[in-house]
Structure 1
Amino acid sequence: MAGNTLTLPKYSLGTGDRFAHQAKAQLQACILAAKQGVEIIPVWNKSNREHTIIGSEPASVRAAAEAAVKELGWSKPYFCDADHITLQTVDRFLAPCDFYTIDVADMIGQAAPIEAIEAFVNKHPELLGKIELSGIDESFTITAEDLRGTASKFLAAVKQAGEVYRKIAAAKGEGQFIPEISMDETDRAQSPVELLIILVAIADEGIPIQTIAPKFSGRFNKGVDYVGDVAQFEREMQLDVAAIAYAVKHYGLPANLKLSVHSGSDKFSIYPAIHRTMKKFDCGVHLKTAGTTWLEEIIGLAEAGGKALALAKDVYADAFAHREELCGPYATVIDIDPAKLPSPEAVQGWTSEQYTSALRHVQSNPAYNASFRQLLHVGFKIAAKKGRHYLDLLEANEPVVAKNVTENLYDRHIVPVFLGLATAR
């Protein structure tokens, strides 16, 4: 908190909990980090689509978070994120949430009125020419064509974000929630120059965003490693951070504004680049790990053996049978090779170790199967259909499931990204 305004601290971890059973295990990972001197704030997120699939309500996320915070004695901030909300879906999140990921991807490329574009261009002649950035040996050169073209592509999206922001503010009160704008679920990465121009438009719109989630180059597939040029990613991230610092200094955006890396779970190859950037610029980051907790639940059940392993096998069999239906909504963020998917009959004969080795994201293990993992990642709908049977087994095997959830978040995400950084103040 800063005065009466909710403020997102420097380092934060967006973590999904599809079935609202792992909040305590997730929070435990943040407690382990705190013991190492690094404060990482948990942000529990769940989208409208996920609530609809599972049949849950946003209040369940708040209830699970509060129970975990109370039981573990967490005294630092924490938040509940209305993930990827729009004007049409925000209402059900107004009471329980205090973090709003405003998703404008569908509006990117929608034409803004010509007069609005021209008004923006005319308002910002200072953006034309060379922009000197701090902390990096590169500068931006922005032409009138760049300014007009970026406004044409993104101004309508920013205007819609403003509508959503004002609707939330009318219900919650100014400063009583954390606003984020998300532009990652779109076809093309935004360049750092575009990001700067977008930030200026956001400032004009009066949205005090505290995080922004651009789309980076490369593929950020669900639950598997980054596919792309790591050096290019690092250059983009550094330029984005420098652009944010420039926008904060010159356009009055919140001082704690930081990058949000969406679909950041398991992007092991870029974690060193993220860490180096944070250290170089002394900047924060919001790392979104989302659905990997659900995979750790399945790994834990498989590890437990018996009925729990049998359920894990059944979930895969059903996911295999319905793979086209499951994969359709996630087509742009998964890359499954059907030839590499084991048959359900083969999986029925697997031991606990065979199942967990195929699913657990340890790339040095020759049994690891990225296609198997991605199919199960989008297959949480299958577990939801199992209803109480799935939840009962989760609860019966809580110690082994929780151990996997905590170790995954701490060892594979928090340690490489955040440890070694100074404690947030």
Structure 2
Amino acid sequence: MPILADIESAAPELEAIFRDLHANPEIGFEETRTAGVVADKLREFGFDEVHQAVAKTGVVGVLHGRGQGNRRIGLRADMDALPIQETSGLDYASQNPGKMHACGHDGHTTMLLGAAKYLAGSRNFDGTAIFIFQPAEEGLGGARGMIAEGLFKRFPVDEIYGMHNQPTGQANRATVCKGTAMAGASFFDITVTGKGSHAAMPHQSNDALVTASALIGQFQTILGRNMPALESAVLSVTQIHAGSAYNVIPETARIAGTIRFFEPEARDLMQRRMREICAGFATGFGVVVDIEFRKIFDVLKNDPALSDEWLAAAADIVGTENVNDDSRPFTGSEDFADMLQVIPGAYGNLGHAGTIPLHNPGFVLDPAILPVGASIYARLIERRLPLEAT
């Protein structure tokens, strides 16, 4: 089965929605315009219920099939952009300075809207489909916010599915990793407080910047000398902020970054060693070092049986030769993991012709993926909520 015919005929409309969302990106919990576009489209499609302001800017649509079954399936897309200045050169590039859809969430939202339009027109399923448009996936806790506000109590589902684009250069290649699929993540913030001085007289200082620089290098020994060789983990320092003048040794320096892990023991080891290193450097350099960790993402674990269902729906659209069920775990993180902590489901990936990596200011999502992803979402509902022939 190729792209569903009704979705293929709606491809120009989907691309128009995508271009509009791409040109008007909004970062986490600020997706007011995006949420309005989504809600208006769901109402236009004839959804039975449309709920806004779920975790500030989230949207949930409820659609009943022609059958009277009690099963309920959830589909989720994320809506937020990143604080990145776009350099793609697209004629529909971001109009909001310093904000960009560099991870393709505009495409994810569009794909789910494509499935919504198709299913609202056919209602060729038995039960209820719940469409979840989530804010703030990029490390701001959008999934947790929706769950905390009673997402699955207000809109209970038996299974839930999600999808991410991948700029692999292999168009329409659908993959899923069964079981542990994506890393958990914590963010860390470190403040080094020393004693400032004139830059010409550094002996009068306790240099916070020197301490911070030394900490960064020492952290990199944790994976090589403390982590078991067969354990997968990542520690990356991504920010350092200090100083305001050429001739002043700064009083404080700030470091920030992330750790990624597949097992809580690995997270605990990295955090313990970072605290110990900070304490040692505080004593050795005569400074104060404060470190704070924030748990941001859970480890994403796909249900093996429902992973097969995701792949079966994808195979209906892209062909069995283009699906793969043995992809390796990925050290990136995704807060759909929080939903999978509550509801069984699966999260797959769909390749497209682009090759510039995610979170890059030049990232371009190939619009040809839109009807493909929409068709996979639609087939998931039709397959998991089959309407008996009469």
TM-score normalised by the shorter chain: which range applies? under 0.3
Q: Which has the higher strand share?
A: 2
Q: Which has the higher helix share?
A: 1
Give the TM-score, by structure 2 length: 0.27
Larger radius of gyration: 2
Give the TM-score, by structure 1 length: 0.25
RCO greater where, 1 or 2, for CA within 8 Å and sep 6 or more? 2
